[in-house]
Structure 1
Amino acid sequence: MTTFEQNQYNRQVVRWLTLCATVVFGMILLGGVTRLTHSGLSMVDWRPLVGVIPPIGEQEWLATFDKYKQFPEYQKINKGMSLDGFKVIFMYEYLHRVLGRFIGVLFAIPFFYFALRKRLRPGLTPHLFVLLTMGGLQGLLGWYMVKSGLVDNPRVSQYRLAAHLGVAVVIYTYMVWLVLELRPAAHTALSGLTRYARWSPLLVGLVYLMILSGALVAGTRAGLVYPTWPLMGDSFVPPGLYAMNPAWLAAFEDVVTIQFNHRMFAYLLFLVLNLFAFQVYRHAPDRRVRTAAVILAVVLWMQVVLGISALLQQVPVWLGAAHQGGAVLLLTAMLYVSHCVMRAKP
């Protein structure tokens, strides 16, 4: 295979992976909307190989609704819900699951085609196989999360929610990084960027942990306990922090502590990322890296505004989904800057 042919194939793979990453991003947004509309427990069974076709006709809808009535969410929260109301929440969860299946097909068929036609760059196949495996396991993890809400307490476990979102974000991040690696190299002078190359993976990790922190907030609905800013109620440090026994458990199960930790993490990340973006901008030797630093700063400020707005308005669906999407965009921007400085050449 000539270098020209390999470059052509690389561009094809880049377009395919970019499409997959974009759809996964949409899946993360739809997952947020499903959670915010309290639709995730409307489908009480899991049929991974069938079930693509939704209920058709009044009798099928009534039978599906009767299944839902046997579970605690209907009995304790949605008692008396109409069939039309059930159809709304059902369709959010249905679309979420169907989109998951679509992503599997969108990834698997081109992957096997490229592999069989030997169009994949050497060393890329194992990475793509890992992504395929993670996608399959993500479906299992999603059902494992839903099952936690089909019991006495009709809410999914915040731990399983964080794990489900966390794996989705890892899949997305993996795809984005492969796209950045496969794109034609734009050589950047190494001078002045070495120190930032060392720090950038840590900052990527911090943004990811911030997303997981947000999942804990969402899973426990901790964002509703103090819908005020910059104070939490009447004080910056609210009463009752880490009041559980053992104290460390409060960071995962006490709504006041969870919201406080999320705020503190956000303040820390805001300061650190602004400083990082400013320093990279100052020392970057070319326009591409400076542009990446500006994008990072802009997305960071946008995400802060979205977070504060969602808090003050008690997390309406559109703002909650926008804040979740903004977190993934922030991670994307950080990945791009990180790739720029880590792949700089002398």
Structure 2
Amino acid sequence: MQLVFDGHNDVLLRLWKHAAAGIDPLREFGEGTTSGHIDAPRARAGGLGGGLCAIYIPSGDLVLKAPDANGHYLTPMAAPLERAPSLDIALDMAAIALRLDRAGLWRLCRSTADIREAMAAGTFAAVLHIEGCEAIDRDLAALETFHAAGLRSLGPVWSRHNIFGHGVPFAYPMSPDTGPGLTEAGFDLVRACDRLCIAIDLAHITEQGFWDVARTSDKPLIVSHSNAHALTPVARNLTDRQMDAVRESAGVVGLNYATTMLRPDGAENANTPLELMVAHIRYMVERMGVDCVALGSDYDGATIPAPIGDAAGQQALVDALAADGFSEDDLAKLCRENWLRVLARAWHEAG
């Protein structure tokens, strides 16, 4: 079994929603559930040793557009969110993460040494991530507070606009070059993240925003959960030119398991074979090299292929990659080592 460190999940969103309905998040994560994709028992069963756990503020007005007769769709952008309620939700999710840590149900990790120690002990290694910075104020005081609480990664935008930049819509087929990039506040956010050693994730930003970050940050380029636009032309996937830039920065791209980002038809359909996941991995490895490709499942945030199902089925993908000819050394890089190398650089760790 290859132990996996995963680049993106939304388990905190699921636990937060269920907590509002009276379900104890510690019991749900620690004892297991049939809901969603990740809990401690299923993670252990599938060799999912940890991952970047997102604080994400949901957009209540977002309704995914149904495909037309050609399978094409363009979902209108979600409206910008107000900061105060966004901050309340973000603090609630951070509190759940801290409670899980105090209970010993996962370890909230602030370094790659923390991650390795947790995984070696069989404890889920969680890294706190913010997906869309609606909870962060213009003067970035909240950024300092979240960093003190354990935040080590963030994406300036989700697929909506905010004071820091512009996101791409959920659309097929469409280029990621859909509008402006970072705002002046966004450039300040990137520089602050570099100073605080917070990794910057480019998974939902426009192509212009991608290039804005690339020319501003001194960190490796990270795209936590996106795939190859050449194979699945959704706006969320990366062009060859973007992948070339990731390679040049010695960064990483995590394979997104969302079927809409894997299938050539862009459809949300769990009946999606593992071969399509392998094809995206192969394409990205051939374009960027095996050192720049990893996994970014989007567990608890997307429809994933039925052959995996949930975290307990994680090794099905590992087995499919092995069957396609990836060596044990390659699999170790794809499953965890590439993430740990890039995070160590982003966090300015020695060595």
Which bin holds the TM-score, normalised by the shorter protein? under 0.3
Q: Which has the larger radius of gyration?
A: 1
Normalised to the residue count of structure 1, the TM-score between the two structures is 0.27
TM-score by length of 2: 0.27
Write 1 or 2 for the structure with the bigger share of strand: 2
Bigger share in helix: 1
